[in-house]
Each structure stands twice: as structure tokens, then as C-alpha cells.
Amino acid sequence: MKLLTPSAQRAAASDAAIASLPGFANHEPRAHEFAVLDPSTEQRIATLPSYSTEYAVEQVAIADEAGRAWAATTPRHRSDVLHDVYAHLIANRGRLAYVISREMGKTLAEAEGEVQYASDYVRWYADELLRPAGGYRENPAGGSTILTKRAPVGLALLIAPWNFPMAMITRKIAPALAAGCGSIIKPAGLTPLTTLLVVELMAEAGIPRELMRVVTTTASGAFSEAVLGDPRVRKISFTGSTEVGSTLMELAAKNIVKSSMELGGNAPVLVFDDADLERAVEGVFLAKMRNGGQSCVAANRIFVQDGIADAFVEAFSEKMANVRLGAAIAEGADLGPVIDGRAVTRLTSLVENAVDLGAELRAGGSAPEVPGYFFEATVLDRVPAEAEIASTEIFGPVAAISRFSTQAEALELANATPFGLSGYVFTENLDRALNVADQLETGLVGVNNGVPSNVAAPFGGMKQSGLGREGSHEGLEEYQEIRFYNIARRDTV
């Protein structure tokens, strides 16, 4: 298989963007340092400090003090600065996209899309913070009036994943800043460069550096224990696996820290006979292949009704077989590498196991023998229920399709998982769309829509997929406490 490779000029441009980042070094990692690799080449692109827990706790003191001063600024001031941040991020779209592509492996076109998506959170909260929620109530028994208001929750710990290195940071930091909170930010060890660049650009646009303290470290467990053990930290927002989320919730419980957890998914997709075939193929392709399938909301178990199944599988497989694999910054690449070698090994084993148990391989299926962590866009049809891929989060460009005959059967299959982040339904029948969406046990549902995420929507899961919501006004509330004043009244004459 021929892989698309980038021009030398393009590679040099991204190298320059990376070399200017704070903390960057260009040598093999020494003690208390770690390397960041380019998944398209397996080459080191940066060496960064792995900070100690003492350093992390020093940052808590700095960000806590800065957060108190920030909370005292006017909403108009915070809104204006966040609007300036939005404009500055967009003005640096090319640089940000390069860095995202180089360290995470998504194509430049997708990375540019992520820059817009990520920046939109900043713009959304710049506007949203001007409309603080509050209320007025009467004591039913008379004699007092109750006012409710929102106050900043205090210092927030933000722990981000590697799959959307910019959007998952701005989706946390924008509402934190809007609410009036300082933050300690821990980027993923695999993709810290984007966070460093985002925070640098935010500081250039006017956010005080003391408010956003980034701690790069490979000692994640010790870091979380030290920071969550500090009573000045009042909030944690984490995106990552359910397993790590559960450990963080235990740590957060000690000081009763308000927690938002965006955890694992296992999204069911239901394609009914009455779906529009073209729309369904396009929608499922997006739901599967956005970010190379490396998303918590990615289509994971694709259930197709018997009457449309052959036509769907044919058209979908053809589309997947035409996906051009290449280095993330290569001209014309549709799909870059997956994040690391472990992901390649896991995907290979999931595909082999499914085929051994009777699944039909309709496209792709293997990892090309070239440098870089590549895996072909793959389609498996008639995946048996006992195959490992039928119950695990795939997190890669492999589509696992099985078939169903009735709506009731489809819903039973879809909900037979401890996870409940996203679900998808494809049908042209409005009644069916709403009935099925109502019965899916997921926090969000894409109806004839392969990309339901939106800044104006409250992203988050049910069951073991998490707690709390990100985006929309609900995402701002995650960084606020509700308070009330009960004002006694007596009659006057």
C-alpha cells in the first residue's frame, strides 16, 4: 500500500512552530524529561520537562491567588478578553493545526476543523458569561424573599486527553475562565504541545499567565494525588477512560471536590430499513471516521436492519476502501496514523479475533509495514456477538457491522453496555427517530447526523460514561456554585 508523505517544506514549517514552545528541548530525554513523538514517523519532535509534584503544588498556589483576582473582574472584562482570545486563536489557525497534526496524527484538514471547533468554545463562553443565571423566589409561607445566584467554584484541575488536544482543553478552560476560576492544566503526555501553544496564545491575547498553569508530567498518578489533596482545588474536570475517571473520583472524594467526568463510550448506531441510504452511509462514515475513529463518541457498534443491510455494507465498504492513508501533514491524506504502536497492536488483534470467529472482512484489515502507526480504514460485516470487537471501545478506523430485524431487538442490543455516551439513529421516519432516540440510554443522540457535538449542546454521558456536561450553559454551571440569599421581610406602613 502506498502511503502519502509530506513535503519537506511543510515539515520544516511545523518544526519551527514546535521549537518556539515554552519548555521545548531538542535532545534525547534526560532525567525528569520525556519525549513527544510524531505518530506519522515515530520520530521524536520535542523533549519536555516532567515536573515534580512539588512544582505542581507551587502552581496551585499561583493559580489560586490569580483566580481570586480574576473572579473580582467584571463579566464585561472577562468577555472582552475571551473574545480577543478567540480572534487570536483563529489568526493562528495554521500554526495550531500543524502542531495538532504533528503530535496527534490527524490530517491537517481535520486539525483545522478542530481549531475552529475548539475556538468556538471560547467564543461561546465569552458571550454566555454575560448572561449570569439567577433567580427570585418567594417563601411559600411568606415572610421572606429568596435570591439565587452563581459564584465561581474556585480553582479547577483540568486533565485533558490526547485525541482532541485543542478542543478538549478549550472546552474546559473557556468555561472555567468565564466563571472566574483559575486552573491547573495537565495535558496528555502524548500531545502536550498543543496545550502549550494554546495557553501561550491565550496569554498573548490578555489572559494572565498565573491563571492557567500547565504542568507536563509523566507521573500522572502522583500528580493527581498531590493536586487533588490540596484543599485549594475545588473542581476537577477530566476527559479520559472510565478506569482513570473512577480513580480520580476517589481522590476527589477526600476533599469533596466538584467533579465532571467525560469517560469512555461504546456508541451504538442503528440504521433502519427506512433510512435514506446515501445519507446513512455518509453519516455513519463521519461518525466512524472523524478523528480516525479515535473519539469517545465514535460509531462503535453499527447495527443495520436486514432490508437495507446488503446495500449499506456495499456502499459503505466502497467509501472506506477509497480512504487515502498518509502522514498527517501530507497533501491529500484522508486518514493519518493512530496514536501509538499499542493502538496498532490492539486493532490488529480485534480484527483477527472477529475474522477468526466468522466476521467478513469487506475493506482494509491490516497495518502497512512502514514507519508510523498506520492502520487501514477497515470494514467488518456480520460481526458475531462473541467477538471482542462487539463489546469493546474500538478507538480506531475499524467499522464493526452486524444486522438486526426489529426495532425492539436493535434497542436491546444498543443498550446492552455499561456505557452511555452517544448513540446514532438513521431513519426517515420522524416517529421512529424520536421513539428510538428516547429509548437509547445515552447522553447524546445523532439523528441522521454523524457529528452531533456542538458548542451549544451539553456534551456528556449516562451510566459509566460520566458525570456532568461540557459546552452550552450547562458547561458553565460545572464551574459554578449555586448560592441563595434568604431575605427576611416584614410589613411596613
Residues that bind ligand SIN (CB under 6 A): 163-164, 167, 239, 262, 295-297, 453, 459
* Residue 296 bears catalytic tag: yes
Give the nearest distance from C-beta 264 to ligand SIN in angstroms.
9
Helix axes 277-289, 306-321, angle to 10 degrees: 50
Of the pair 167, 377, the CB lying nearest ligand SIN is at 167
Give the nearest distance from C-beta 455 to ligand SIN in angstroms.
10
Size (the chain), residues: 493
Residue 379: φ, ψ to 5°: -125, 130
Give the nearest distance from C-beta 80 to ligand SIN in angstroms.
27
State which residue has the least CB distance to ligand SIN.
453
Of the pair 41, 422, the CB lying nearest ligand SIN is at 422
Of the pair 296, 309, the CB lying nearest ligand SIN is at 296
Give the nearest distance from C-beta 283 to ligand SIN in angstroms.
14
Give the nearest distance from C-beta 290 to ligand SIN in angstroms.
8
User: In what order do the strands lie in the sheet containing 360-363?
Assistant: 360-363, 378-381, 398-404, 299-305, 267-271, 422-426, 444-447
Catalytic residue among 114, 296, 393, 478: 296
Of the pair 48, 296, the CB lying nearest ligand SIN is at 296
Find, among 298, 272, 304, 305, the residue nearest to 401 by Cα. 304
Find, among 460, 461, 478, 459, the residue nearest to 157 by Cα. 478
Catalytic residue among 110, 210, 262, 393: 262
d(CA 68, CA 390): 49
* Residue 181 bears catalytic tag: no
Of the pair 163, 427, the CB lying nearest ligand SIN is at 163
d(CA 199, CA 385): 45
Q: Which residues are catalytic?
A: 262, 296
